[in-house]
Chains A and B, each alone.
Chain A
Amino acid sequence: MPASSELFGSGVPRVGSQAPSLTLLDAAGAPAVLSELWAAGPLLLTFLRHYG
């Protein structure tokens, strides 16, 4: 089984690189722009497989 670090493909932002910003929806259905969220302070940004 590969270690996590070996899974880093070209699409995974590397440490020290700019993180991609996207517009998502918050729990109330309002737009949530990642760059606006991190501009307010550093984020622990985690990606879930799904909600369920």
Chain B
Amino acid sequence: MFCREWLAQLGRHQTEIEAAGLRVVAVGIGEPKHAQRYCPQLAPRANCVSLPEPLAHAAYGLTMGTLKDLLNAQSIKNGWRAMRSGHTQSLVSTGNERQLGGTFVVSRAGIVEFAQVSAVAGDHADIPTVLAAHRAWEARNA
């Protein structure tokens, strides 16, 4: 449910994101057919890519959460928030429920401008903060 909630947020903010000069690439665990199931309806202009194993997540240092990371007050609150916005857990999902996510901004030269690592399940980046970080980076490196 959290991946769908996050994709939908990115889809709603797509115009602002693109106005800031960024393109969205979403990395999921699964196969291309799984990306096709969700991305066109939730974030139509995002480039959704995948691998069947969490190799890309590991390369970016994103770890599997512990039971404490997945079942605590904040993650339950996040789950309630996602469900209230209509994003329930699919019966058919891919990947690993324990995988924690993260968001990065990467420059044209491949330099990390911004990094956010989820502390608990459903802990998404704040889009205005992401965009502000990118604008500040661009201003410093103009």
**Would you call the interface of chain A mostly helix, strand, loop, or mixed?**
loop
How many residues on the A side are at the interface (Cβ–Cβ under 8 A)? Answer: 46
Q: How far is the CA of A10 from the CA of B61 in the complex (A)?
A: 7
Cβ–Cβ contact A13 & B100, under 8 A: no
Give the residue of A8, A28, A40 whose beta carbon is less than 8 angstroms from that of B117. A8
How many residues on the B side are at the interface (Cβ–Cβ under 8 A)? Answer: 76
Q: How far is the CB of A11 from chain B (nearest CB, A)?
A: 3
Q: How far is the CA of A27 from the CA of B99 in the complex (A)?
A: 21
Cβ–Cβ contact B115 & A47, under 8 A: no
Cβ–Cβ contact A52 & B95, under 8 A: yes
Q: How far is the CA of A20 from the CA of B56 in the complex (A)?
A: 9
Give the residue of A2, A4, A10, A42 whose beta carbon is less than 8 angstroms from that of B106. A42
